[in-house]
Structure formats: C-alpha cells, structure tokens
Amino acid sequence: MNDDKRFYTFVFAPTAKSPLRKFNVHHRVIYSVLAFAGVGMLTVLYGAYLIAQHAVVVARLNLTQRENRQLREQNREAASRFDLLQTRLTALDTTQRKLAEGSGLSRSTDISRSVGRGGPGGAEGAGGESLLNLDNIEIATEALESELQHIKVAFDKNQLRLASTPTGWPVRGYISDGFGNRRNPFGGGGSEMHSGLDIATNHGTTITATADGVIIFAGMYSGYGNVVVIDHGYGLTTRYGHMSSIDVSVGQHVTRGRKIGAVGSTGRSTAPHCHYEVRLHDRPVDPLNYLSIGRS
C-alpha cells in the first residue's frame, strides 16, 4: 500500500517584522475542510430556499384569508340586499295587483313569478347563481316600479273620474215624475220635455251632491226656483232645483254626500220635491242611468 505523502505548505508571518513561519497540511485535510464547507454552504442555501418558500406560502395564505373575509362580507351584504329587494318586490307586486284590479286596468305578466327565487344561502354559500338572481330581482323591481307608476297615474285618473261621476240619490224620497216627455203638470193639455227626475219628499229634507265638483251656480233661476249647479268635470254637470234653502256658494268645491241645500217648492213646482238633472256637455241625460249605479 502506497503512503500518500502529498502536503500543502502554508507560509505566513504574524507581523511585518516577525520571521516567516510555515506549516504543512495533508491534502486530505484540505479536501475534507472544503467538502464540509461546501456541504455547509449548500445547507445554508437550501435553508434559505425553504425559508423563502415558506414566506411565499404564508403571504399567499394571508392573501387568501383576506380575500375570503372580503367575500364573506360581500356575501352577507348580498344576502341582506337580496332579502330587502325580494321584500320590496313582493310589496310592489301586491300593490300593483291591487291597483290594477281596483281600477280595472290590464296588468302585464306577473314579473315577480319569472324571477329566480332563493338567493344567498349564507355567508359561505353565495355564488354566481345567487348574484344572478339578485340582478334579476333588481331588474324586475325597476320594471314593477315603472309599471306601478303608470298604473297609479291611470288609477288616480280613474278615481278622480269615479269621484266626479254622479252616483246615488241626491235626496231620500220617491220618483214622482221621470225623464222625457210628459203631460203638462199644470194642466192646459199638451206635453213637455222633462229634463230630469222629480224626487218627492218632505219640505226641508237635506239635498246632497251626488259627486265631487265645483259650484258654478247657486241662486234663483227661471222655472227651477232656487237651484244649485255643480260642474264635475269630464263634461258632466248636475242640477238640483226647487230648493227651499241653499247652503253653498259659487266657486266652492264640494264632495259627494256634502249637503248643498234643502227640499222646497220654489219656482215652477206643484209640491215639495227635488228636481234632479244630469247633463253631459250641457245636454240632459236620464239620471236613472246614474241612480242605478248608486243602487247596485
């Protein structure tokens, strides 16, 4: 066996004035030191790599947790918003249906039934489908609000027209003479056109307006005696004749059922009664067509 006698000689001086010193190191020792140094370096580098990888994982984890918190908050907000919109949609749908039914208007397709039901199932469960449902409900709500506004305008007009349409009886009594041609009640033969109804009752009985309107005449008028004329709009007017007293004045707004005077026998009259007329564009029409509404 050969004995390897290779050495490395190191020469150094501790100080500038010190004599040179030297020592020999076997080459195997040098290789061993270098090998350990290499392994140590690789270990340090690998450790640094692992630390860097761990830092990246921690950073990603923190980012994911932050995003999850944000998503949970968004889902909670979406759930609350969904519930609010669904409640609002139901209320609008109910209001719209009642208005449409009450006003006799045609109603478009029931929008609320075509909208996806359900929604976010909780902070963890909300997804794209729930958000789609939420968008659908928003669209349906806007559509319902728009249609509701149109229905409300039409409903208000109808209500105004209904309130302004004569209905019912102006006074309690019985019909003593009808609308149309009749024999002259004062004798002398012949016939005449009777432009209203005569409703016989006791002297002083209250006479009420049969619809909302504005008083356009209140006073004595030939043939009618004391008479009140109410303009209801839409071309409709009513007249109440032969009053013993008048309780309203020109320009006054009255509502249906409001007392406007009392039964008398003023003007061309044979006994206490209320002469009641309904005119459309100032042409007399049969009041029975309107009294029948009040009877139904």
* Cα 10 to Cα 7, 23, 26, 254, 257, distances in angstroms: 10, 5, 11, 127, 129
Mean local confidence (pLDDT), 143-161: 71
Is the pLDDT reported for residue 215 higher than 80? yes
Is the pLDDT reported for residue 124 higher than 50? no
252's CB contacts (< 8 A; 6+ apart) are 214, 215
Is the pLDDT reported for residue 107 higher than 50? yes
Q: Where are the beta strands (DSSP E) in 205-282?
A: 206-208, 213-221, 225-233, 236-246, 253-254, 259-263, 273-280
Total structural domains within the chain: 2
Using the 3D structure, point to which of 163, 186, 220 is the last residue of a domain: 163
Domain shared by 130 and 179, yes or no: no
Mean local confidence (pLDDT), 112-121: 45
Counting Cα atoms < 13 Å in the Cβ hemisphere of 190 gives 7
Distance CA 90, CA 117 (A): 12
What does residue 175 show for φ and ψ, rounded to 5 degrees? -80, 120
Domain shared by 119 and 204, yes or no: no
Using the 3D structure, point to which of 104, 134, 163 is the last residue of a domain: 163
Residue 208 CB coordination number (10 Å): 18
State which of 49-53, 72-76, 118-122 shows the largest mean pLDDT: 49-53
40: its two tokens: 């140590």
Identify the pLDDT of residue 115: 45
Domain shared by 143 and 7, yes or no: yes
Mean local confidence (pLDDT), 157-168: 80
**Any bridge partners for residue 12, and if so which?**
21
pLDDT per residue as tens digits for the range 216-263: 999 999 899 999 999 999 899 999 999 999 999 999 999 999 999 999
71's CB contacts (< 8 A; 6+ apart) are none
Is the pLDDT reported for residue 151 higher than 90? no
Domain shared by 157 and 207, yes or no: no
Using the 3D structure, point to which of 134, 163, 192 is the last residue of a domain: 163
| Per-residue three-class SS string for 51-104 | HHHHHHHHHHHHHHHHHHHHHHHHHHHHHHHHHHHHHHHHHHHHHHHHHHHHHC
Is the pLDDT reported for residue 202 higher than 80? yes
pTM of the shown model: 0.53
* Domain of residue 39, residue span: 1-163
Identify the pLDDT of residue 23: 66
Domain shared by 147 and 33, yes or no: yes
> Residue 169: inside a domain, yes or no?
no
* Cα 3 to Cα 6, 26, 28, 29, distances in angstroms: 9, 12, 12, 15
81: its two tokens: 């918003």
> Residue 260: inside a domain, yes or no?
yes
